Chains A and B, each alone.
Chain A
Amino acid sequence: MGGFATWSVSTAVFLPLVGAILIAALPKQIMRDGLVYFIAMSASAISLLISIWIAINFNFHSGGMQFTVNASWIPTIGARFHVGLDGISLPLFVLTFLITMLCTIYSMQWMPEPRNTRPFFALILLLTTGMAGTFVSLDLVLFFVFWELVLVPMYFLIAVWGSPGRREYAAIKFFLYTLFGSIFMLVGFIALYLHSNVAGHHTFDIIELSKLGRAGAFSPLFANLVFAGLFLGFAIKVPMWPLHTWLPDAHTEAPTVGSVILAAVLLKMGTYAFIRISLPILPNAARDWAPAIGVLAVIAIIYASLACLAQTDMKRLIAFSSVGHMGFVMLGISTLNRRGINGAVVAMVVHGLITGMLFFIVGSTYDRYHTREISRLGGMSLVMPWLAGLLAYCSIASLGLPGLAGFWGEFLALLGSWNPARVLSGHVTLYHFLTAFGVVGTLLTAGYFLWLLQRVNLGRPKEEWEGHAFKDVLPLERIAWAPLLILILVVGIYPRLILDVTGPAVNAVAHVFGG
């Protein structure tokens, strides 16, 4: 590969950063809202086009890294600018730009208070570079830089544009929680570096470290300790039970597009890191940890569903539902087999589509009612049939109805968990229970979503809204939502759209576990 192919990934990753710098650097006088929108839109749209171009030119039969660039970066510590994509990162990479673009369109309609478009879009673009970079980094230092880069803009988005009241608390909680995990993650990275030996050199290279891991270069004790460190960092991001309590606060207080990005992309950084880093580099530790991860995942599924039943705030309910859905992703990963991990990747992407969309809808509902209290809503189907219909569509997709996207990830994760990878054959009975409880989780999920629909969509509008004029779905909302709505149906009917991409790459990951 040469020419543009070599540079495509980096261009897509850094174009939003350039956009951010442009927006921030140009003088205020010429940076009217229109120009800010234009720059943000162009940066995310061009990046999206590039990522689609990459997808078109992608070799779907290969499980290896493609579109790689491996250049010297910080020679003193052997950190390299090593980026590349495989079938696991590609869908998330495309999703990142898609979501950013849709968020930009949406913000043209609903700019959160206190408006101030310049910093807002600069931060969103900066965030995009961080997220996209995380999904293509093949060097631990590079990965860490992108990982941390995400933290700052999200902090400000919540703290400045969040809903008044608890936004500072939520922002700090998000920041410190994640930072706490990152510290252990960083220690794990450094430990890996110091213990690695490739032709007499230490390395941060994920591919090299994976080879070492497969060859059994790390002692069991060391591997388990490092796994624990990485686990803290990743599990908080996912978030896994019981490290999830930052999420309901951050999601609820964040502005709409902040919640969308958090749910659709940011959470996936954690699960992605498990598949990209923990599993390949520390396969034996992963085997030891997998049953525990599976148990935590299933607890998350049940626990989050129950917590959802107790919510009185619509946005908080959707936030908690994320904890449960990410539980399915982690359940899939904990199987260490191909079905489970493929299911996990599908569930990651699909959760991005569906829950991202749900946060859009919740945001738009709030913009119309100026409340998220479920008890004050009701009868939305009568006053805004389209918005209500979309809420129903996405809720039903989210509860895992076959035919819509939510089904496949969950089903494959459950299918994988009945019969986990060969290295886990000592725990088959435990995994049977995990499957069974996971399935029960789908029932509870159906329960809280239907109850939500009953209280929000059905019945008649409450008296306080009498004479209130509601505007149903607006043109810009339609444009921002259409791609997600269509994808939810298309992936539901034709899951190969994702599975054909992930298959070979997942083979490469699961191979070592005999899954």
Chain B
Amino acid sequence: MVTGGIRQLAWLVPVLPISAFFLIVFFGKKLPGKGAEIGIAFTGATFLLGILCFVEAISKHNIVEKSMTWIRFGGFTLQFGMRVDTLASMMFCVVGLVSLLMQIYSLGYMHGDIRYTWYYAMVSLFTGSMLVLVISNNILLMLVGWELVGVCSYLLIGHWYEEKENSNAAIKAFLTTRFGDLGFEIGVIFLYVTTHTFNIGQIEHLVATHQVNETAITIGCLLLFCGAVGKSAQFPLHVWLPDAMAGPTPVSSLIHAATMVTAGVYMVARIYVLFAASHVALTVIGVIASITMLLAAVMACVQRDIKRVLAYSTVSQLGYMMAAMSVGAATAGVFHLWTHAFFKALLFLGSGSVIHAVHTNDMFEMGGLKKYMPITYATFFIGSLALAGVPPFAGFWSKDEIVGAAWSSGNHLVFTAGIITAFLTAFYMGRCLSLTFEGRYRRLPVAGAASDDHADHGEHHLPHESPPSMTWPLIILAVLSVVGGFVGTPFKNAFHDWIAIPGAEHGVVVPVMIVSIILAIGGLLIGFAMYRRAPYGFGVLDPLERLGPLYRAAVNRFYIDDLYIKGVVRPVQYGLSKFVYTVLDRKVIDGAVNGVAAGTVGLGKLTRRNDERVIDGVVNGLGWITNKTSYGLRKLQSGNVQGYAAGLFVGVVVLAAVLFLRGGI
């Protein structure tokens, strides 16, 4: 490995936010900024260091890898270390930037929260955990970061844990992703046993030199992919992500853009040599990704909650990223991760700004907000165009590259799903823009329910723009959502030169590009027009309800959540567990134990009675012994162990004394 300059210090990238966590927990409350300043300063430093690493990695185009022995005992060595290449340092920048902006944003958004300091501590730990995962040169250390990310997300999603709904969402997120992690963990074990190393570079080397057979590669890939399905919210484990918005909105932006759902995509990209060597694994990924993007896009179309629209759209976009992996265009997938981070963080923070102003998540109660919140509107508009894939905004370049690659690779399933999803994405974003910002403001005090003092301060209930600490992050992200894609245009694809994950090279497919532009703009316009004149008042019908069963199925999440909760979780939680404990444990096993005890006591009594009445006098000697035994047993059972205990105690003390004296000689 060539010596790197600044990247020798890259270990600080995860260490800084993790130190910030401890500092905030122990000292945060005593500081003037209640700990927020530590979080922001340390994350800022992380981000700067990340940029330096990225610049250096791009210019030198090499890998800096450093390890140290973490565990060693006979026949087992575990080395932990960092692997800082362009891919990892790009993630430093993405994670650092989104985390930094969302922390600045939170100054306003979380102002006055009862667990404000704790919130900043957890955000720092969340960021640090993700960076552990990113920097790791080793699948076991990756698993460590992976699990830490999971627990941080649990704590942040459940931040307002007074409400059961929120803690349910937190548990759902943790257990669902953990379910996928079962596969990841077995995969790590399996790969170690197969290749005798946890090191990513070494595993890749062994695979590249054909020292691992293809079946083993396939098994390893599929097991690892289980983890990615959980973390990156792929079908059928996507169910946790829409509920995860129960956490504070800035946390959602972090989860959706940088620190959690990207983990699965990043992992696949990180060990792409392994995945690329298994045709079966890539096929499976392609199928899963296609189902995910389509299903989620359909569900996004029928949501009334603005954050849920965005949440399902994330699931759908993650499907794109995974799809890119499956068609050999890993770099394009990572590129989409990069652009998506900007516009999805933007959209979530924008929705937070909206919710902050109108105190509702229901888009059907909003409307006309562009008048009241011009900055939020403008930035949200840019983010929507970027997500919908309208040129020249960031999302267009990355999405188009994936769809083009799917076309060139001849994977019809992925291509078809990608094209349809492109249309649906544009449609639901048009719908979202229209409902939220166009038309009239629909959330006015309900007639009759309004009390007098409401009438007095009527003006106060009109929404207003958020404070600068919230709008500035929006502006920065909006700029990035415009220019962030220019590094990867077909005219000069610098991003490909930077990241350069080996895989099939794809040229530009002009017809595909034209089709996707038409679909994007068409979808946006249809969505926009359909909801532009949403009628005034509450409880309005969604025009899509005319679709009938399809609408109902989509609103009910295609009954997948119900299946899990009613079909798996509740039966285990309340049924199987009760059976195991009350029947198996208490009645059968412990029943047997108590039965034996009772039987022994009974036998003792019987023997004694027998002894007294029948045999007495006949076998005097034998009877005497039995009598004593049974009597002793009976005493034991009635709680009188003191006799025995005292005897044993005295004996032990005597023995101890003896051995003390003996040993002393």
Seen from chain A, the residues whose Cβ lies within 8 Å of a Cβ on chain B are 10, 14, 17, 21, 69, 71-73, 81, 126, 129, 145, 148-149, 151-152, 155-156, 159, 168, 171-173, 175-177, 242, 245-246, 303, 306-311, 338-339, 342, 379, 381-382, 396, 401-403, 407-408, 411, 414-415, 418-419, 435-436, 439-440, 442-444, 446-447, 450-451, 454, 457-460, 495-496, 499-500, 502-504, 506-507, 510
Contacts and interface: CB of A to CB of B under 8 A. Distances in A.
Interface string B557-589: 000000000000000110011101110110001
A459 B164 contact: yes
20 contacts: A71-B659, A81-B659, A81-B662, A129-B656, A151-B648, A155-B641, A175-B641, A303-B585, A307-B585, A308-B577, A379-B162, A402-B143, A418-B190, A443-B182, A450-B170, A457-B161, A458-B161, A458-B167, A499-B71, A503-B74
A435 B639 contact: no
A439 B185 contact: yes
A309 B573 contact: yes
Interface of B: 70-76, 143-144, 147-148, 151, 154, 158, 161-164, 167-168, 170-171, 174-175, 178-179, 182, 185-186, 189-190, 192-193, 572-573, 576-578, 580-582, 584-585, 589-590, 593, 597, 636-637, 639, 641, 645, 648-649, 652-653, 655-656, 658-660, 662-663, 665
A171 B162 CA distance: 40
Contacts, number: 176
Given A152-B645, A310-B582, A450-B154, A72 B572 contact: no
Contact of A450 (B175, B577, B649, B652): B175
Contacts of A242: 589
B562 to A, nearest CB: 19
A457 B660 CA distance: 51
Contacts of B658: 73
B148 A401 contact: yes
Given A439-B186, A443-B175, A338 B74 contact: yes
B151 A396 contact: yes
Nearest to B645: A152
B372 to A, nearest CB: 34
A502 B573 contact: no
Contacts of B577: 306-310
Contact of A155 (B158, B573, B584, B645): B645
A381 B151 CA distance: 17
A177 B594 CA distance: 11
Given A73-B662, A403-B144, A414-B189, A454 B73 contact: no
Contact of B581 (A311, A407, A442): A311
Contact of A338 (B76, B174, B189, B662): B76
A240 to B, nearest CB: 12
A411 B192 CA distance: 12
Interface centre among A145, A408, A435, A450 (most CB of B within 10 A): A450
Contact of B189 (A171, A435, A451): A435
B174 to A, nearest CB: 6
B656 A17 contact: yes
Contacts of B660: 14
Contacts of A126: 649
Interface centre among A177, A245, A435, A457 (most CB of B within 10 A): A245
A506 B73 contact: yes
Contact of B653 (A21, A168, A439, A459): A21
Contact of B73 (A171, A443, A459, A499): A499
Interface centre among B151, B164, B648 (most CB of A within 10 A): B151
B74 A401 contact: no
Interface centre among A69, A308, A403 (most CB of B within 10 A): A403
Contacts of A403: 144, 147-148
Nearest to B147: A402
Contact of B182 (A396, A440, A457): A440
Closest 10 CB pairs of A and B: A503-B73, A309-B577, A310-B581, A402-B144, A458-B161, A310-B577, A507-B74, A306-B580, A245-B590, A152-B645
Nearest to B640: A172
A451 B593 contact: no
A246 B585 CA distance: 11
Contacts of A171: 641
Contacts of B178: 442-443, 446
Contacts of B663: 10, 69, 71, 73, 81
A397 B88 CA distance: 29
Contacts of B656: 14, 17, 129
B647 to A, nearest CB: 10
Interface centre among A444, A458, A495 (most CB of B within 10 A): A458
B636 A176 contact: yes
A101 B196 CA distance: 43
Nearest to A382: B162
B639 A148 contact: no
A149 B659 contact: no
A139 to B, nearest CB: 10
A408 B140 CA distance: 11
A446 B174 contact: yes
B166 to A, nearest CB: 8
Contacts of B70: 495-496
A372 B344 CA distance: 45
B649 A152 contact: yes
A307 B578 CA distance: 7
Interface centre among B175, B186, B636, B641 (most CB of A within 10 A): B641
B162 A459 contact: yes
Interface centre among A306, A402, A510 (most CB of B within 10 A): A402
Nearest to A323: B585
Contacts of A151: 648
A156 B74 contact: no
Given A415-B192, A454-B167, A172 B572 contact: no
Nearest to B171: A450
Contacts of A504: 73-74
Nearest to A10: B663
Contacts of A129: 656
Nearest to B74: A507
B585 A451 contact: no
Contacts of A450: 154, 170-171, 174-175
A338 B581 contact: no
A172 B573 contact: no
Contacts of A308: 577
A401 B143 CA distance: 10
Contact of A506 (B74, B151, B665): B74
Given A342-B73, A459-B167, A503-B73, A245 B593 contact: yes
Contacts of B665: 71
Contacts of A159: 639
A153 B636 CA distance: 16
Contacts of B164: 454, 458-459
Given A401-B147, A418-B193, 11 more contacts: A14-B660, A73-B663, A156-B645, A176-B597, A342-B76, A396-B151, A446-B175, A446-B178, A458-B164, A458-B167, A459-B161
B189 A418 contact: yes
B219 to A, nearest CB: 11
B375 to A, nearest CB: 36
B215 to A, nearest CB: 15
Nearest to B190: A418
A148 B641 CA distance: 14
A148 B648 contact: yes
A135 B623 CA distance: 42
A10 B661 CA distance: 12
A175 B641 CA distance: 9
B307 to A, nearest CB: 22
Contacts of B167: 454, 458-459
Contacts of B636: 172, 176
B154 to A, nearest CB: 7
Nearest to A169: B639
A177 B600 CA distance: 13
B641 A502 contact: no
Nearest to A503: B73
